Structure 1
Amino acid sequence: MTDMTTSLLLLVVAAFAVAGFVKGATGMGLPAVAMALLASQISPVVAAGLLVIPSLVTNVWQLLTGPDVRVLLRRLWPMMIVMAVVTYATSGLIAGDNTAATTTALGVALVVYAAYTLCARQIHIPQWVERFLSPVIGAMTGVVTGATGVFMIPSVPYLQALGLTKDWLVQALGLSFTVSTLALAVGLAGRGALASDQLLLSCALIVPVFIGMAVGTVLRRRFSPALFRQAFLICLLALGAEMALRPLW
C-alpha cells in the first residue's frame, strides 16, 4: 500500500466514486462495483481491505435508518451468526497468494449475481422453511464472502424471497452486509492482510463514495431507478465475465 503510485491512487478514488454513484442511483452495488473496477489493477484482498470502512459506514447507516433492527435480529440471527463465523473462517481464501483463482472466483460471483437478478423470477420462501434454510444461506454467503470479498450471493436473493416489505428488506440487507463486512475485516486483520495504511486510505475513501452517492441520488430522482438498475447489472455481468475468463487469455 505504501508504494501506490499517484495514477493508481487516482484510479482507486475514481472507482469508489463510481461505486458510490451506483449505490446512490440504484441502492445497491458498492462492493461489487468497486471490486470489479479495481480487480485489474490491485489484488482482490487489497481491494477488499479498502472497502472495509466505506462499506461499513454506508451499511450501518442503511441498517439504522430502518424500522427496528431488534425484530430482524430475532428473526435472522441464525443466518447472521453462521455467516459471520464462516466468513471469518474462510477469509484466508481471499488473503492467500493465489490472486488468479481469487479473481476468477470474484468474476463468477458477479456473473451469477447479475444474471440471477436480471433473469430470475421472484420466489417466495415460506416462514416455516426459513428456520432451516437461514443457516445454510448464511454458510454459503460466508464462503463466497471469504473467497471473493463480495457478500451478495446468495444472501440478497434469499432476503428478497422472505416477503419483507421495502423498508424491512432494506434494513435486512443493511444488517447482512454489516455482519459480512465486520467478519471479513476481522478475518483479514487476523491474517495480517489489513495494514494500518490500508485502513487510513479506506477511511479517506468515504469522501468520494458519499460524493458519488449524492450525485447518484439526484439522478435517481430525475430518471427511472429501474433503468439505472438494469444498466448497472448488465455492466456488472460484462465485468464479471471478463474477470472470470481472464486466466484463459
Structure 2
Amino acid sequence: MTLGGILKGATGAGLPVIAVPVLATIYDVRVAVAVMVLPNLISNLRQVWKFRDAPYDPVFVRTLATTGAIGAGVGTVALAWLQPIYVQVVMIAIIAVYIGLRLARLKLLVPMPLSRRMVGPVGLIGGMLQGAVGISAPAAVTFLNAIRFERKTFIFTVSAFFAAMCLVQLPLQIGYGIMTANTALLGLFALVPLSVAMPIGEWIGKKFSAQLFDMVILVFLTALAIKLLFDVL
C-alpha cells in the first residue's frame, strides 16, 4: 500500500496496479478489489480537490468519468458472478500487458480531437476492468498518457475518472456482499500508510527520474505476477 501510495502521489495513478495484486496474494481476489475501493475513492477525491484549478476540458472529463462509472458497474457484476480463479487469470494478463506497455515505451500520441472521439469507449473499457479486477491502467492510463496532458491536468482528469468508478463500485459491492464491514475496515486502515506515502510520492515526482521509478515498479509487478501465476497453477 505504501509503494502504491508513492506511485499515486508521484504520477496521479497506479495505486490499484500495485495494491490489488499485493492484496490478491494474501486474500481472495474479490476481497483485494473491494479493499481498495474506499482508499481509492478518498485518495482520488483528495487529488480532484487539490488540482481543481488545473486547466481541463469539462466535456472530456465528464465523458470519461461517466463511461468509466458505467463500465465499473458492469465489471462489478462480473466480479460477483465469475469464479475467483478466472478473475485472477484476467488480473495476471492485465499486469502483463501493463508491464509490456511500460517496457515498450511506445511514443504514442493521441491528438485532442481524436481523443474526444475515443474517450467514451476507453472510459467504458477501463471502467469494466476496474470493476472486475480493480486495475484499469492498461486502457485508461495509457490512453491519457498518450494525450500528453500537463501533469496537473493529467492528475485531475485521472482522479475524477477513478473517483466516479469508486462511487459506483461501492454500493454495488455492498449489494452483492463483496464489500463487508471487515473489508471496509481493512480499506480504512489502508488509508494510514497511503496518507503518509502520497506526499512522499509527490516530492519524488518532482525531484527524481521517472524512468528509474518506473523500473522499480515494473520489477516489483513482475514478481507479483509470477507469484499470482504460481497460485493459479
**TM-score (structure 1 length as normaliser):** 0.82
Cα distance, 1:77 vs. partner?
A: 2.2
Match of 1:29 in 2: 14
The letter for the 2-side match of 1:165 is E
Cα distance, 1:203 vs. partner?
A: 1.7
Cα distance, 1:115 vs. partner?
A: 1.7
Return 5+ residue gaps in structure 1 as ranges.
Answer: 1-15
Match of 1:243 in 2: 228
Indicate if the aligned counterparts of 1:188 and 1:194 stay in contact, CA closer than 8 A: yes
2:84, 2:196 → 1: CA distance?
31
Aligned counterpart for 1:231 among listed residues 191, 216, 226:
216
Moved more, 97-106 or 194-203: 194-203
Match of 2:137 in 1: 152
The letter for the 2-side match of 1:120 is R
**Does the C-alpha gap of structure 1 residues 153 and 222 become closer, same or farther in structure 2, counting only changes over 3 Å?**
closer
The letter for the 2-side match of 1:118 is L
2:214, 2:68 → 1: CA distance?
27
Match of 2:191 in 1: 206
Residue 62, structure 1, aligned to residue 47, structure 2: yes
1:114-129 pair list within 5 angstroms: 114-129=99-114
Cα distance, 1:144 vs. partner?
A: 1.2
Aligned counterpart for 2:58 among listed residues 65, 73, 82:
73
Cα distance, 1:46 vs. partner?
A: 0.8
Cα distance, 1:197 vs. partner?
A: 2.9
Indicate if the aligned counterparts of 2:74 and 2:131 stay in contact, CA closer than 8 A: yes
1:41-120 pair list within 5 angstroms: 41-68=26-53, 71-96=56-81, 98-120=83-105
Moved more, 161-170 or 21-30: 21-30
Indicate if the aligned counterparts of 1:108 and 1:244 stay in contact, CA closer than 8 A: no
Aligned counterpart for 2:161 among listed residues 165, 176, 200:
176
The letter for the 2-side match of 1:194 is M
**Does the C-alpha gap of structure 1 residues 169 and 44 become closer, same or farther in structure 2, counting only changes over 3 Å?**
same
**Does the C-alpha gap of structure 1 residues 217 and 133 become closer, same or farther in structure 2, counting only changes over 3 Å?**
closer
Cα distance, 1:51 vs. partner?
A: 1.1
What's the C-alpha RMSD, in Å, of the aligned pairs? 2.5
Cα distance, 1:220 vs. partner?
A: 6.0
Indicate if the aligned counterparts of 1:106 and 1:244 stay in contact, CA closer than 8 A: no
2:171, 2:228 → 1: CA distance?
26
The number of equivalent residue pairs is 233
1:71, 1:25 → 2: CA distance?
19
Match of 2:124 in 1: 139
Per-residue CA shift, 1:45-88, capped at 9, x if unaligned? 11122112211121111112225479443223223222211211
Aligned counterpart for 2:177 among listed residues 189, 192, 197:
192
Indicate if the aligned counterparts of 1:108 and 1:241 stay in contact, CA closer than 8 A: no
Cα distance, 1:119 vs. partner?
A: 1.2
Task: Work out which of the two has the higher radius of gyration on C-alpha atoms and give 1 or 2.
Answer: 1
